[in-house]
Each structure stands twice: as structure tokens, then as C-alpha cells.
Amino acid sequence: MIDHTGHPTRRGALALIGAAGMPWPAHAASLRVATVDWSVLETLVALGCPPVAAPELRQFREIAVEPAVPEEVTDLGLRGTVNFELLLLSRPELILSSSFYVASEPRLRHIAPVESFSVYAPGRPPYDPAVAMTQAIGARLGVAAAAERYIAETEAQFAVLRERLKPLAARAVIPVNLGDARHFRVFGDDSLFGEVLKRLGLANAWTDHTSYSAMAPIGLEALVRVPEAHIALIPPVPPGAMEILARSSFWNALPNLREGRLLRIGSINPYGGLPAARRFARLLTEAMIAAEAARG
């Protein structure tokens, strides 16, 4: 339990200390690891090595969705301002971070050794760094075989989905996230979603540079430039935005909308690792095939 200042209450601290002594599942690494980064979090869980503590778990479960984080993992609060008291009480032997949290590392090092990864950086697509991070975590935690297996399974999954999408590969995809009813963010070739499109044999309809992240804000009128594309709408969607768009003459006149090529897929962490890449690949494939079937 945490009080209004963000610090653990006495009861919460005692409960945490008790939970810290509970054994982890046999498949988890013996090293007590904490993380402040979601891409590291999802990778740890995917490799069967859930951390003792990680940030914003409620939001992770809503936005990243998978893999499922065990209830035993302590929530450290906001990613940018983690609760250092709770982190200390979690007794980590190692803290895994990323280049997004360099400013926090001096304080983190007072608690435990810190190792950091750089998956997202300007001018460098993130997929290969995500693979390298998976391998490095596997080697560090003694589960290198599991890491290599997960990487191989990811590539195999892409191959299966690429085969399923071959009949639809002639039509490009534009992955977007709505900012409001008049603007969107778009993910280019150098984003995680853009990298997945390449591996699925699909073209990204947005050809401008986006520097590994989403470009924003862009007016909805820009969608006129990609009339043949599937629009992959990635949550979160601002409250009321779809209701406003449903009444928009411009929105409903778009060929993408008229011809049933708006794909509303599930939420995904846009700055994730291989688990996020796999989730996007699967959800996009399912949505494209369903849309094609609905069009008859």
C-alpha cells in the first residue's frame, strides 16, 4: 500500500518485505532483477524471468497487454519517477534500464548495479537492437537457450503470418494512433511497427522519416495521400474521437473507409521489444484477413 505522497505505508512495506521472501517459480532466474523500462519488462517475462519490481504495471497491462505480468511483481509507480523506496525494499541484485532513463541511473546505482540497453535511438531501426537485448538478457540471467528459442519462434511466427498475408501484400499499411479527432501520429519504416511490416512482406504507406518514433501531429487530410492503404488504428483512442469522426464527411469520404480498410486493432506498446513486435504482427494479420473477408 502507498500513501498520498507516493511512499509505502507501514503495512505496505511489511507486506512487500514478506512477499520479497517468497520463492519465484522454478523457471525464473535466481538473480533478483528489477527494471524501470517496459521493453525490458516484457522481455524478462517472455523469457520466464519476471522481475521483482517494475513500473506502471496497471498501465502496462492495459497498453502493452502481453505477456502477462505476475501479480507478485511490485509496481514502482511512474516510469519517469519511480518510487525508490519500494525499489529498495524489493532488494534487487541487478536493475535493468534503458537509454530512456539515463538521468535516473545515478540514483538507481545506489540501490543495485545497473545495466542499460539502447533499443530506440535516432537513425537506427529498433528490431535488431531488440533482438540483441533479448540475447544479452538471456546471457546475463543464465537463460541464453530460452532467449535464442524466443528469437527463433518470433522469426518463425513472422514467416507463417507473411505466408498468410501474401494475397494481401500488394496493398500497403499505414500504422497510426489518433491524437484527437483531427490529428494522428504515424509510425514510419524505422519504427517498431514499420520494422514488423517489412518482416510481414508489407509496405508502409508512410514513406517520410519518423526517427524511430511516431511523427505527430499530422492532420487527417494527409490520409488523402494514401487512398489505397489499410489504416491500422492503434489504441489508445481519445474519448469521443471515433464518435466525432463517425459524423465527419471528410473521414467517411476517404476511400480507405468506404472500402472497409480501417483496421481497429488491440493496444500495443509502440516502444516494446520482441513481444510487442509479435503482438502487432499477429493482431494486424488477423485484422487484415477479417477485413478482406468482410469485403467479400
Q: What phi, psi does 232 have (nearest 5°)?
A: -95, 105
- pLDDT score for 29: 53
- Terminal-residue alpha carbon distance, the chain: 53
> How is residue 128 written as a grid cell?
535488431
Distance of alpha carbon 107 from its chain centroid, rounded? 26
Spans of the chain below 70 pLDDT:
1-29
CA distances from 52 to 34, 76, 92, 101, 134 (A): 5, 10, 7, 19, 18
DSSP state of 262: E
Helices (H), 76-182: 84-89, 105-108, 127-140, 144-165
- pLDDT score for 61: 97
- pLDDT score for 30: 77
User: For the chain, which domains are there?
Assistant: 10-113 (3.40.50.1980), 153-295 (3.40.50.1980)
Q: Which residues does residue 2 pair with via DSSP β-bridges, in sequence order?
A: 8
CA distances from 61 to 65, 82, 103 (A): 4, 17, 26
pTM for the structure as a whole: 0.88
pLDDT in tens, 3-59: 433 334 434 433 433 333 333 333 445 799 999 999 999 999 999 999 999 999 999
Which of 262, 260, 182 lies closest to 222, judged by CA? 182
- pLDDT score for 123: 81
* Contact yes or no for 276/39 (Cβ under 8 A): yes
- pLDDT score for 139: 97
- pLDDT score for 193: 96
